[in-house]
Amino acid sequence: MSKLKIEGNNCLTGTINVSGAKNSAVALLPAALLCKNSSKIYNVPKIRDIEYLIKILKILNCDYKINDNALEINTANLKNTPIPEELSEQMRASYYFMGSLLARFKKVEISFPGGCHIGARPIDLHIKGFKALGANVEIIKNKYIITAEKLHGARIYLDFPSVGATINLMLASSYAEGTTIIENAAREPEIVNVASFLISMGAKITGAGTNTIIIEGSEILDNGSTEVFPDRIEASTYIVLGALVGKDLKIKGFIKDHINSVLTKLNECGVKFKIQNDEITISKCKNLQTTDIKTEVFPGFPTDMQQVFTVLLAKANGISTVTETIYESRFKSAELINTMGGNMKIKDNVLTIHGPVELKGKELYIPDLRGGAALVLAALIADGTTYLDNITLLLRGYEDIVEKLQNVGAKIKIVE
Ligand code: UD1
C-alpha cells in the first residue's frame, strides 16, 4: 500500500499554482449531460473524483476527449444506464447525475452517493425539490429510482442553503416546463460556476450567487462551454501552509473574493501577506495570535477549511476555538494531531485548541479528504518523519499535491 512520507520543519519557497475547483468540476461534468451534443470544460483538475465521474460518463455512453486539463464531452449517444454502486459510492457528487438524467430522460436509477464520513449527510432537500418539480421518488434497497411523466416549474424553499440541492435543482429544472424559483439557495462560487455553464448552453437562469435563483425551463440546450473556477479550498490550504513554513511563498491563480473569510481570520492571527492580482506572497508568522472560528455557508468561513486551519491555531499563543455548524463529525484530524503532540479538546461541535505546541512525526491513517490535508500540514511543521496511510482520500481532492509541495522544497514523497 502506498503511503506519504513527509519530513517536517523545512522552509518552503517558490510558487504554487492553484488548480480548478474540485467541487465545481464534480458538478460541471454531470451538468454537461444537459447538452444535446457537445460541451467543453476547461481547467478540470486531475483528481480521483474526476476519474470516477469519467467512468460514469463512459457507462452512460458519452464520448469524451481530454487534452491536458480541457475536457470535451459529446452526449449524442447518451444512454440512461443505471449508475452502479461501486461508482456512486466513491464520492458525494455522484448525486448530480440525479438532476441531469432526470432532466434529460425523466428517469434515473442510481445507488446511494458516497463521500467522506463527516456526519449524516442526508439528501432529503434534493428529493423534496425533485418531488416539487413533479418527480416520483422511490428507494428500493440502496437505490434511488426517480421518475416523472413531465417536470414542471415550482417554487422551492430550501430549509438549509445546501450546495448540492441548489445545483441538483438547477439541473433538473433547466428542462422543466415553466418557471422554477429556488429560495434560500446556496451562494457558494460553485453555484455561479454551474449556472454560467448552463447559461452558455442556452439555459435561462438569473440570481445564481444570491439566495433566490430563477430558472425558466428550456426545450433544448447545447454547446456549453466554461472554465472551472480556481479551487478556493486548495488555495486557502497552501496559504495557511505559507503562514506556517513559508519564506516568500507565492500562491497563484485564486479569486480573492472567494477566500475573504480565510484571509480575515489570518489577519486576526497576526499573519502578514501581500496580494497582487491573483497572487499572494506569504511567510512564516513568528508570533501567531489566537482566534475563534465558526463555520458558515458562503461567504462565511468554509467548513472544508476548518481542519486545515486548526494546524495554524495549534501554533498560536493561547486558546482558540473552532465551532463546526455544518457537519456533526468533523474533528477526526484533531484527535490524530493530538497524537503528534497537539492539545485540542472536542466538546460537542466545539474544538478548543491550546497552543503553541511542538508536533512530532507519527504514522497515521488519513480519516477524510480535508482531514488528510490537515495532517499533511501538521507533518510539514513537525519534527521528524510522518507516514500517512490511506492517501487515496487526499488524492480525491488535491491535484498533484505531492509535486506541488516538492516544487517549493517540501520533503514529501509517495513510498510503497
Ligand atoms: C458540498 C461540498 C462539501 C462541502 C459542503 C458545504 C461538494 C461535492 N461537496 O457538500 O465539500 O463541505 O458543500 O460547503 O460540493 N443537508 C441536509 N439535507 C440535504 C442536503 C444537505 O440536511 O438534502 C445538510 C448536510 O447534511 C450538511 C449541510 O446540509 O449538514 C450542508 O450540506 P450541503 O451544502 O448540501 O453540502 P454538500 O453538497 O453535501
Ligand 1 near 328 CB (within 6 A): no
For the Cβ of 156 lying below 6 angstroms from any atom of ligand 1, the answer is no
292 with 325: CB under 8 angstroms? no
**Average confidence (pLDDT) over 393-412:** 96
The share of the chain scoring above pLDDT 70, in percent, equals 99
- Alpha-carbon gap, residue 147 to 56, rounded angstroms: 20
Over range 225-245, report the average pLDDT. 98
Q: How many Å apart are CA 9 and CA 260, to the nearest integer?
A: 28
Per-residue confidence (pLDDT) for residue 253, from 0 to 100:
98
Residue 118 has pLDDT above 70, yes or no: no
Q: Indicate whether 90 pLDDT > 90.
A: no
On the question of pLDDT at 73 being above 90, the answer is yes
- The torsion angles phi and psi of 13, rounded to 5 degrees, stand at -145, 150
Q: Is the CB of 160 under 6 A from ligand 1?
A: yes
In the chain, % of residues over pLDDT 90: 92
Q: How far is the CA of 17 from the centre of ligand 1 (A)?
A: 27
pLDDT digits (tens, 9 = 90+) for 149-191: 999 999 999 999 999 999 999 999 999 999 999 999 999 999 9
Q: Is 401 in the pocket of ligand 1 (CB under 6 A)?
A: no
Residue 117 in this model has a pLDDT that exceeds 80: no
Tell which atom from ligand 1 comes closest to the C-alpha of 190.
15
Number of H helices, E strands in the chain: 14, 23
Identify the residue whose C-alpha is closest to ligand 1 atom 15. 23
Residue 120 pLDDT level (bands cut at 50, 70, 90):
low
Instruction: Select which of 62, 116, 269, 285 is catalytic.
Output: 116
Question: Burial letters for 105-118: b for 16+ Cβ neighbours within 10 Å, e otherwise?
Answer: ebebbbbebbbbeb
Indicate whether residue 164 lines ligand 1 (CB < 6 A): yes
pLDDT of residue 91: 86
Q: Best substitution site from 24, 117, 163, 370 to test ligand 1's pocket, by max atoms within 8 Å of Cβ?
A: 163
Residue 292 Cα to ligand 1 midpoint, Å, equals 23
Residue whose CA is closest, atom 31 of ligand 1?
A: 162
Strands 155-157 and 179-183 come out as parallel
Mean pLDDT of 335-353: 97
Atom 33, ligand 1: residue with shortest CA distance = 162
Residue whose CB lies within 8 A of the most ligand 1 atoms, among 50, 52, 162, for a mutation test: 162
**Ligand 1 centroid to residue 119 C-alpha, Å:** 10
Does 217 or 116 have the greater pLDDT score?
A: 217
Joined grid coordinates for residue 309:
486551519
Average pLDDT of the segment spanning 309-334: 95
pLDDT confidence band for 300 (50 / 70 / 90): very high
pTM higher than 0.95: yes
Residue 164 CA: which ligand 1 atom is closest? Answer: 38
Whether a cis peptide bond, with omega within 30° of 0, leads into 122 is: no
Distance CA 363, CA 4 (A): 10
- The answer to whether the bond into 82 is cis (omega within 30° of 0) is no
Ligand 1 centroid from CA 406, angstroms: 32
131 Cα–ligand 1 center, Å: 19
Residues 6+ apart with CB under 8 A from 318: 289, 290, 354, 355
Identify the residue whose cell numbers are 438549509.
Answer: 160
- 304 C-beta closer than 6 A to ligand 1: yes
The rounded Å distance from CA 236 to ligand 1 centre is: 19
| pLDDT tens, position by position, 353-377 | 999 999 999 999 999 999 999 999 9
Q: State the distance from the centre of ligand 1 to the C-alpha of 38, rounded, in angstroms.
A: 29
Considering the chain, what is the average pLDDT of its residues?
96
Q: Is 165 in the pocket of ligand 1 (CB under 6 A)?
A: yes
Is the pLDDT score of 225 beyond 80? yes
Half-sphere exposure of 12 (CA within 13 A, CB side): 31
Q: What confidence tens digit (pLDDT) does each residue in 247-275 have?
A: 999 999 999 999 999 999 999 999 999 99
Q: Is the CB of 290 under 6 A from ligand 1?
A: no
Q: For ligand 1, what atom is nearest to the CA of residue 91? A: 8
Mean pLDDT for the stretch of residues 315-327: 97
Is 35 one of the catalytic residues? no
Which pLDDT does position 67 carry in this prediction?
94
